[in-house]
A and B are shown apart, each in its own frame.
Chain A
């Protein structure tokens, strides 16, 4: 099996197809600062839930202000007369009612979800790559990495199609071929992906696994 993880300290310059040596890798492996920084940069910012909650709050505040002002002027805009806002709450709704419990549970649940969204780091938006300059953070999105790798493998003669899945620390490739004689094909695909991954030099090692399937026809 030629499944190889690019391990720390692997700083050898590789030979490309055209025989020219690649620049030696940036060797940012050993620098925990680079990893931490990249992780922070590509951590989800949570701007979308933040903007939604902010918009809902702003709308609620504005509506509440309008309502309270109209109530203060004695001409409520809504049909709820302000003298007995809590009309039903006062007469028929009890604390132990299912409805009250459901509302309380719902509000507490939304609160919990928001706290979790704010606190959990979340799945990084990009795969961080090593750079030679500590001030430079490089990332490639998982989706684009998947697509670019599958294009590369599909260019390997004999490979029909390829699907790439990215895990936290692994790349799983499922390639299909129509060839009868598949000798060496898997290794070739594996080497293609491995070469690219080595050249990309991810800050967190990605283990490459290629599986080849023969399609009839």
Chain B
């Protein structure tokens, strides 16, 4: 769901940002001689001879760097996947009692039905629907393009009390968290008004 994606993106950004902020701040503190007793003199070179020669003397340094890089790359790829996955529901279990056999509804059958129903409304030019989240507690993402002269209040009532109510009944759900993106379009307005 979108709120989950938002949390993943924002948390990751804050973590990466804090690391960069602290790292950059430490470099600045040393460079500006903020605390020579703790950080050392700002007139020293960035690397001492011992530090520069360290990897050549110790064979574990490069494998350790490689391992750390692989970990960073994997974490970043996992973060990337978590942000871009849409978590679309494909199948919905309708009969929870497995003893009597499982009934599974294809999600696109359910969304197709609500799209058809919405598009049959003369005030609606186009509609799109997708079920997101988990199969047991799905959420609906609805996009409706309405004719600009349609009365939004009446449109909302018909979506709420007809299309959504029918979908809930079909899915045997008491509540279906829904995000409806409404959009108005002028094309063909004069024919439909």
| A residues at B contact (CB < 8 Å) | 16, 22-23, 25-26, 40-41, 43-47, 49-51, 53-55, 57-58, 60-65, 67-69, 71-72, 82-87, 89-97, 100-101, 103-119, 126, 129, 131-133, 135-141, 144-145, 147-148, 151-152, 196, 199-201
What sequence of 0s and 1s flags, for each residue 19-46 of chain B, a beta carbon within 8 Å of any chain A beta carbon? Answer: 1111111111011110000001111111
CB-CB nearest in chain B for A83:
B56
- Return chain B residues, CB-CB under 8 Å to A96: 31-33, 42-43
> B6 an interface residue at 8 Å Cβ cutoff?
yes
- Return chain B residues, CB-CB under 8 Å to A119: 10, 14
* CB atoms of A47 and B9 under 8 A apart: yes
> B96 an interface residue at 8 Å Cβ cutoff?
no
* CB atoms of B62 and A51 under 8 A apart: no
CB-CB nearest in chain A for B176:
A135
Known A22-B153, A89-B47, A111-B24; judge A50-B10 contact (CB<8 A): yes
> B101 an interface residue at 8 Å Cβ cutoff?
no
* Alpha-carbon distance between A118 and B14 when the two chains are bound, in angstroms: 5
* CB atoms of B21 and A112 under 8 A apart: yes
| B residues at A contact (CB < 8 Å) | 2-3, 5-6, 8-14, 16-28, 30-33, 40-49, 51-53, 55-56, 59, 62-63, 65-66, 68-77, 79-80, 83-84, 148-149, 151-154, 156-157, 160-161, 164, 175-184, 186, 189
* CB atoms of B182 and A140 under 8 A apart: yes
Q: List 24 A-B contacts (CB under 8 A).
A: A23-B157, A45-B5, A53-B16, A55-B80, A57-B75, A60-B72, A64-B72, A68-B66, A69-B63, A69-B66, A96-B43, A110-B20, A110-B24, A114-B20, A115-B21, A116-B17, A117-B13, A118-B12, A131-B180, A132-B157, A137-B180, A140-B183, A145-B184, A201-B156
Q: Which of A45, A50, A82 makes the CB contact (< 8 A) with B56?
A: A82
* Alpha-carbon distance between A101 and B59 when the two chains are bound, in angstroms: 32
List 5 A-B pairs, minimum CB-CB distance, nearest first.
Answer: A61-B73, A108-B24, A111-B20, A114-B17, A104-B27
* CB atoms of A86 and B46 under 8 A apart: yes
CB-CB nearest in chain B for A62:
B73
Q: Which of A85, A107, A144 makes the CB contact (< 8 A) with B20?
A: A107
Known A49-B9, A101-B32; judge A90-B73 contact (CB<8 A): no
* CB atoms of B80 and A51 under 8 A apart: yes
